[in-house]
Amino acid sequence: MSALQPSELDRPTLARDRSAADADLKSVSAALRRAEFGDRMRSLLLAAPLLVLLALSFGIPIVLLLSRAVYDPTIADALPKTTVALAGWNGQGLPGDDAFAALAADLKDNQAKGTAYELAKSLNARLPGARSQLLKTVRKLENADGQAALDAVKSVPFWSAPTTWPAIRSGTNSLTSFYLLSALDLRWNADGGVERVPPEQAIFIQVFLRTFFVAASVTLATLILAFPLAYLIANVPKGLAAILIVAVLLPFWTSILVRTAAWTVLLQKFGLVNDFLLLIGVTSDRLDLMYSRIGLIIAMTHIQLPFTLLPIYSVMRTIPPSQMKAAYSLGARPFTAFRRIYIPQVFPGVMAGCMLTFILCLGYYITPALIGGASDQLISNFIANYVNVELNWEMAAALSFILLVFTLALFGIFARVLGLDRLKLV
């Protein structure tokens, strides 16, 4: 707009004209704003149905569930008296007898309400070994009141251990960073600082790195396989292209369980791949392809190939062949034309395909469970285990939250570096 502004050189004598011009200008820019506003509203209206649908069907449920990573009121709800008694404790050494007495009373209440086991499980997640100690204490408390109850709690050495009370106090705070820290192999130490957990318990960072590594390997492998094929399909006559597309889409009709089982048949020790390798003499011994990282990557590459290929192909289809012809006729050599004219235009499709494959790989868990070895399990295997087997949804939520943040951050960086913004992708 600034170009249309009246210049400084305008003379005061032209004030009348100028104000008229101003008025014109105002009406033009108002019209432009109106038009732009209309465009925006139309865009918003176009996007609204999906955004509203996603907010309701996905956004609300996920936010509610993921909030469990930081909000866990189980212990606070189960230990109201202890919570009050600990309010005055400075966190050093052991709390006073009032805290022990409050704990005894709370434990008796839980036993009466039948929630002692839930409390024990919840505390055990934060303080290994707490479950059996707590239940033992509850049994001792059965017929004890007043001083006897206090003595009963004190007679269990566990309640006088240095790590116990800090853990209880942090548990009585419903808003907790415990699960998020655990998901990063971190924990609070006795001094209130954050430290790494001992190496024999530290797994998640390693698993996150492994998940990203496998996802990146599979993405790269699919790109190498898919790009030439997409190029071929986009440039052969229609009939042949249709047949090739059917070949690419055929795997979609086969359940992932069936495809995984098929790879088992292929990769196993006395499977077809090993038979073939022996036959052509590449190897002299049967390879252990099953339950290995390489087997997992091969199977995942197969399942993901169409996801990388189709976006690339659909963009290649929109590039008119006349462009390349024009480049040739202007004297560009094939390779130069390809690199300078073709690749930049296909780039959005490549990014879209790779992005889909990378993200989808992060969520794999059936294939790693059936084809990967013990050290090839991905983060979703752990999350599924927390959800279905250990019933520790707080931990599952924390791991998912970290995964979401890591992935979005990775894309943020990627978008910056590659300037994806201009490509309207991210």
Partner 1 sequence: MTQLRKTFLALAAATAFVTIAGAAFADELSIMASGGAWQDAQRKAWFEPFSKETGAKILEQEYLGDLGKVKAMVETGNVPIDLVTVETATVLQGCDAGILERLDYSKIGPRDKFIEGSALDCGVGLDAYGDILAYDPTVLKEAPTSVLDLFDTTKFPGKRAMRKFPAQNLEWALMADGVAPADVYKVLATPEGVDRAFKKLDTIKKDIVWWDAGAQPAQLLASKEVVMTTAWNGRIQNAIDTDKKPFKIVWNNQILEYDMIAIPKGARNPELAYKYLAYISKPENNAKLASYITYGPVRTDAASFVAADALPKLPNAPDHLAGAYLVADTEFWGDYGEDLVKRFNAWLAQ
Partner 2 sequence: MLLSPYPTTGERIRITLLWIWCGLVILFLLVPILIPVPLSFNSGAFFIFPLEGLSTRWYEVVLGTQRWQSAIGNSLIVAFGTTLIATTLGTLTAIALSDEKFPGRRIIMPLLLSPLIVPVVITAVGSYLFYARVGLASTYAGIILAHTALASPFVVVTVGASLTGFDRNLMRAAAISGARPLTSFFRVMLPLILPGVLSGAAFAFVTSFDEVVVVQFLASAGQRTMPLEMFIGLREKLSPAITAAATLMMGLSILLLLVANLLARRGRKAPA
Rg over alpha carbons for the chain, rounded to the nearest Å, is: 32
Residues numbered 277-296 forming contacts with partner 1, rule: CB under 8 A:
288, 290-291
The item of partner 1, partner 2, none sharing an interface with residue 131, based on CB under 5 to 8 Å by kind, is partner 1
The item of partner 1, partner 2, none sharing an interface with residue 252, based on CB under 5 to 8 Å by kind, is partner 2
Residue at 405: amino acid letter: V
Least Å from the CB of residue 347 to partner 1: 37
Is 375 among the residues that bind partner 1 (CB under 8 A)? Answer: yes
Query: Which runs of E-coded beta strand occur in 183-245?
Result: 186-188, 194-196
Q: Which of 249, 294, 326, 413 binds partner 2 (CB under 8 A)?
A: 249
Q: Which of 30, 265, 294, 413 binds partner 2 (CB under 8 A)?
A: 265
Cβ neighbors of 254 (< 8 A, separation 6 or more) are 262
- By the 8 A CB rule, do 137 and 164 touch? no
**Residue 397 to residues 177, 183, 390, Cα–Cα distance (Å):** 12, 10, 13
Residues numbered 371-390 forming contacts with partner 2, rule: CB under 8 A:
379-380, 383-384, 387-388
Residues numbered 340-369 forming contacts with partner 1, rule: CB under 8 A:
369
Task: Show contacts of 223-231: CB within 8 Å, 24+ apart.
Answer: 223/308, 223/350, 223/353, 223/354, 225/301, 225/305, 226/305, 226/308, 226/309, 226/312, 226/353, 227/312, 227/350, 229/309, 230/309, 230/312, 230/313, 230/316, 230/349, 231/316
Closer residue to partner 2 (CB): 90 or 270? 270
- Please tell me the total number of residues recorded for the chain in this structure: 426
Residue at 135: amino acid letter: L
Q: Mask: binding to partner 2, 341-360, rule CB under 8 A, as x and -?
A: ----x--xx-xxx-xx--xx
Least Å from the CB of residue 273 to partner 2: 10
Is 389 among the residues that bind partner 1 (CB under 8 A)? Answer: yes
| CB-based burial label for 416 (10 Å; 0-12, 13-18, 19+) | exposed
Closer residue to partner 1 (CB): 36 or 275? 275
Is 118 among the residues that bind partner 1 (CB under 8 A)? Answer: yes
- By the 8 A CB rule, do 348 and 384 touch? no
Please list the residues that pair with 195 across neighbouring strands: 187
Least Å from the CB of residue 163 to partner 1: 14
The item of partner 2, partner 1, none sharing an interface with residue 389, based on CB under 5 to 8 Å by kind, is partner 1
Binders of partner 2: how many residues, by CB under 8 A? 108
Q: Which of 108, 393, 414, 418 binds partner 2 (CB under 8 A)?
A: 393
Task: List the Cα angle 129/135/141 in 5-degree steps.
Answer: 135
The item of partner 1, partner 2, none sharing an interface with residue 391, based on CB under 5 to 8 Å by kind, is partner 1
The item of partner 2, partner 1, none sharing an interface with residue 266, based on CB under 5 to 8 Å by kind, is partner 2
Closer residue to partner 1 (CB): 215 or 290? 290
- Residue whose token pair is 């390798």: 277
Which helix or strand (DSSP H or E) is residue 204 part of? helix 204-235
The item of partner 2, partner 1, none sharing an interface with residue 253, based on CB under 5 to 8 Å by kind, is partner 2
Q: Which of 94, 161, 225, 278 binds partner 2 (CB under 8 A)?
A: 225
Is 88 among the residues that bind partner 1 (CB under 8 A)? Answer: no
165 φ/ψ angles, rounded to the nearest 5 degrees: -70, -40
Is 323 among the residues that bind partner 2 (CB under 8 A)? Answer: no
Closer residue to partner 1 (CB): 201 or 323? 201
Is 382 among the residues that bind partner 1 (CB under 8 A)? Answer: yes
Least Å from the CB of residue 413 to partner 2: 12
Closer residue to partner 1 (CB): 357 or 380? 380
Query: For residue 71, what is the DSSP state?
Result: B
In three-state secondary structure terms, 88 is coil
Task: Determine the Cα–Cα distance for residues 403 and 409; give it in Å rounded to an integer.
Answer: 10
Binding-site ranges for partner 1 (CB under 8 A) = 114-115, 117-118, 120-121, 124-125, 128-129, 131-132, 135, 200-203, 206-207, 264-265, 268-271, 288, 290-291, 369-370, 373-375, 377, 382, 385, 387-391, 393
